Amino acid sequence: NLDSETTALLLRKRWALYSVTPLYKFSSAHLKAYAKLLSAYIAAEKQKGLAVQVGVELDIKVAISSLPDLKGSDQDEAAILVQLSLRSQASQKKSEEKLVWSGCFCSVCGDDLSKNVSADFTCLPVFLANGAESYTSIVGSWFQEIFDCCFHRLAISPLNLSWMAAMWTGCKVEENASAVELVFSVPNLPQPLDISYAIHPEDAKALWNTVQKTPGEITQEEVDVFMDCLYSHFHRHFKIHLSATKLVKVSAAVASAHCDGIIKFLQSQYIIEVLMLLTELAISQIQ
Amino acid sequence: HLATSLPLPSEGDHLRPRIDLIAFMIDIKSKYSLKNVEASLAHVAANFFLGKVCFLVTGVGRVNYCSVEMSSIWKLGEVYCSPVLYCELELERIRVATAQRLLRMLQICAGHVPGVSALTFSFLLRNS
C-alpha cells in the first residue's frame, strides 16, 4: 500500500503520459549526483536562452528521490521522482521554494519488459509529467542523453479507453461518487463536435455487474457488451450511433484518462491498479 | 457499385449487372462499421463465400485510433472463409495499389483469368 506522501504527490494532478525504454547504467544509489548534473544542465540551457522564466533571477533546484512503495511486485524497480523547484537566488530559505514541475518514472508489474533485458538496464517504462512542457522536454533530453533511453508520448486508443471505462465502473463506489463520463469526438464534420455522456455511477455499476461473469476478471467480450449497452441506450434516445464516433475521454470516480495520453488519479486505493494498466500500455508501445 | 449496407434495394434489381465480388469495408476507427458489416453479411447468398467476398480494413495506419479489435476482424475472415485486406485511405499510393489489387481480384472472380478460379485465388490469399 502507498504511504500518504506518495499519494498526495500523485492525486488530482494532470499527468502527461510517456513510455520510456529501459535506462542504461542507471543506479538508484547516485540520485544526488544525478540531481546535481541535471541542475547544471538546466542552468546551461538557461544560458542558451531556452529557459522558461525571464527577468527575475530565479534558480531551478532539482531533487531526485526514490519512491520505494510505488511498485507492483518485488521484480519492479522502485519508482523515481524528479522535482524542479524555483528558488529566488537572494533567499536560501526552503520555505520560499515553489514546486514547478514533477516527473515520475515507475513500473507496476512490468515483468514482461524486465525479463528480456540485461542487468545493466533499469526498467521503468511509465513516465508521468506534471508542469510546463518546456521543463518536460529539458528533463527528457537530459535523461535520453545520459541513459540512452527514448521517451514517446503514450496515446490511449478508444479500445483501451473502453477497457478503462468498464474496469473503473466496476470499482467499489463510495457515497456521492462522481458520474461515469464518456466524451466522444465526432469525425468528419465541418465544425468539431464533442458529445459528453454522463451516467449515474450506481446505474453504470449495476449494468457492469450484470455483464461481468467472474469478479476480478474482465474479458474483451464483456467490455464490448457493456459499451454496446451504453451505445444502444444513447441511440434509443438521441438516434446517434456513438459507435461511429471516437471515444476520447473516460472519467470515473477512480480516475480519468484522455486519448492524448493524460491521466488523473482520483482515488488513492486504485493508484497502483491504474498504474498497472498504464505499465501494460507502455510496454506494448515499447515492444 | 457502392452501398452503405445490405440488402440492396430491390427497385434496382433488374438494372443491376451481375455481382462478381463483394468487398466489405470496415473502418478500424468505427465500431459501428463492423456491426454494420456483420449485419449485412447475413444478406449475402452462401455461394458468394466461395472466393467472391473479401474484407477491406481501412484506417490501420493509426494504431491509437483503434476502436475495433483486429482479432474480431480476423475471426470474421475465418468464419466467412474470406481474405482480409488492409488499406490506408489517406495515402494515395496505397489507395491506388489497393484499387489495383481489387481489380485483379475482380477479374479472377468474373472468370476473365483462365486457369485461376475465385476459390483457388482466395485460398492462396488467406494462406499467404
List the domain boundaries for chain A.
5-153, 158-259
* pLDDT value, residue B31: 92
User: Which helix (DSSP H) or strand (DSSP E) does residue B14 occupy?
Assistant: none
**Would you tell me which residues 194-233 of chain A have a C-beta closer than 8 angstroms to some C-beta of chain B?**
220, 227, 231
Q: DSSP letter at B11? A: G
For the segment A159-167, the average pLDDT, to the nearest whole number, is 94
Q: Which domains does chain B have, with CATH numbers?
A: 19-127 (3.40.50.300)
| pLDDT at residue A46 tops 80 | no
Cβ neighbours of B5 in A, within 8 Å? none
Cβ neighbours of B32 in A, within 8 Å? 241, 243-244
The pTM assigned to this predicted structure is 0.86
Q: Is B67 on the interface with A (CB under 8 A)?
A: yes
Instruction: Tell me the per-residue pLDDT of A80-104, one tens digit each, with 9 for 90 and over.
Output: 999 999 877 666 665 678 899 999 9
The pLDDT confidence band at residue B18, using thresholds 50, 70 and 90, is confident
Instruction: Tell me the per-residue pLDDT of A61-72, one tens digit each, with 9 for 90 and over.
Output: 899 999 988 888
Q: Is B107 on the interface with A (CB under 8 A)?
A: no
Contact B65 A247 (CB under 8 A): no
The pLDDT confidence band at residue A45, using thresholds 50, 70 and 90, is confident
User: Measured between alpha carbons, how far is A128 from A132 in angstroms, rounded to an integer?
Assistant: 13
**Would you tell me which residues 84-123 of chain A have a C-beta closer than 8 angstroms to some C-beta of chain B?**
none
Q: How crowded is residue A232: how many other Cβ atoms within 10 Å of its Cβ?
A: 13
Q: Is A250 on the interface with B (CB under 8 A)?
A: no
Inter-CA distances, A175 with A171, A200, A201, Å: 13, 12, 10
| pLDDT at residue A55 tops 70 | no
Q: Is A187 on the interface with B (CB under 8 A)?
A: yes
- For testing contact with chain B, the best of A241, A249, A258 (most B CBs within 10 A): A241
Contacts 24+ apart (CB under 8 A), A46-51: A50/A134, A50/A138, A51/A134
* pLDDT value, residue A48: 74
User: Which helix (DSSP H) or strand (DSSP E) does residue B27 occupy?
Assistant: strand B22-27
| pLDDT at residue A51 tops 60 | no
- Residue in chain A closest to B62 (alpha carbons) equals A157
Coil, helix or strand for B120? helix
* Residue predicted with more confidence, A131 or B122: A131
* Distance in angstroms between the alpha carbons of the first and the last residue of chain A: 29
Q: Is B65 on the interface with A (CB under 8 A)?
A: yes
For B76-93, b/e burial (b = at least 16 CB within 10 A) is bbeebebbbbbbbeeeee
**Would you tell me which residues 30-49 of chain B have a C-beta closer than 8 angstroms to some C-beta of chain A?**
30-33, 35
Per the DSSP assignment, residues forming a β-bridge with A193 are A186
Of the candidates A64, A58, A59, the residue with the CA atom closest to the CA atom of residue A35: A64
